[in-house]
């Protein structure tokens, strides 16, 4: 158990809908990262937050948005869902803000199925 929690574990929804994925980082970690794992694109970085502020952005679609709250949990919002958004969405966390790289620990993931 990495200490990173994600809810829900599974999500099934229809095209055009909106969903919210939730992540709680390890105790003491200030950075949260979101990754998407799909069959055709592999594992891709979406976005990083550090202590409530966006720090880095990857291949995140405009239909997707994220935020990190004062209690440090993070939410990834996916809207106008398409079949191709079906994937495993991972959250990771690290201490962050150390002035150097630190290791990211991953949550168990949320499997999103868009029908």
Partner 1 sequence: AQTVTQSQPEMSVQEAETVTLSCTYDTSESDYYLFWYKQPPSRQMILVIRQEAYKQQNATENRFSVNFQKAAKSFSLKISDSQLGDAAMYFCAYETFVQGAQKLVFGQGTRLTINP
For the stretch 23-45, what's the b/e string if a residue is b when 16 or more beta carbons lie within 10 angstroms of its beta carbon? bbbbeebbbbbbbbeeeeeeeee
Contact range with partner 1 by CB under 8 A, out of 10-18, 61-69, 70-78, 105-113: 105-113
**Residue 40 and residue 53: Cα distance in Å, rounded?**
30
**Residue (60 or 65) nearer to partner 1, CB:** 60
88 contacts partner 1 (rule: CB under 8 A): yes
Binding partner 1 by CB under 8 A: which of 62, 71, 83, 100? 100
- Round to whole Å and give the CA distance between 62 and 60: 7
User: Could you say which of 15, 16, 28, 56 contacts partner 1 (CB under 8 A)?
Assistant: 56
For 10-29, the DSSP string reads: EEEE-TT--EEEEEEPPTT-
The correct pick among 19, 21, 31, 93 for binding partner 1 (CB under 8 A) is 31
Q: Does 49 bind partner 1 (CB under 8 A)?
A: no
Cβ 64 to partner 1, closest distance in Å? 16
């Amino acid at each position: 158990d990495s200490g990173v929690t994600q809810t829900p574990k599974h999500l099934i929804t229809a095209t055009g809908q909106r969903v919210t994925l939730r992540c709680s980082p390890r105790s003491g970690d200030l950075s949260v990262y979101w990754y998407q794992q799909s069959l055709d694109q592999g594992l891709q970085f979406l976005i990083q937050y550090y202590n409530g502020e966006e720090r880095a952005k990857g291949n995140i679609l405009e239909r997707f948005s994220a935020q990190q709250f004062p209690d440090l949990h993070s939410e990834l919002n996916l809207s106008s869902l398409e079949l191709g958004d079906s994937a495993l969405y991972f959250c990771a966390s690290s201490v962050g803000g150390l002035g150097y790289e630190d290791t990211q620990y991953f949550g168990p993931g949320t499997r999103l199925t868009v029908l």
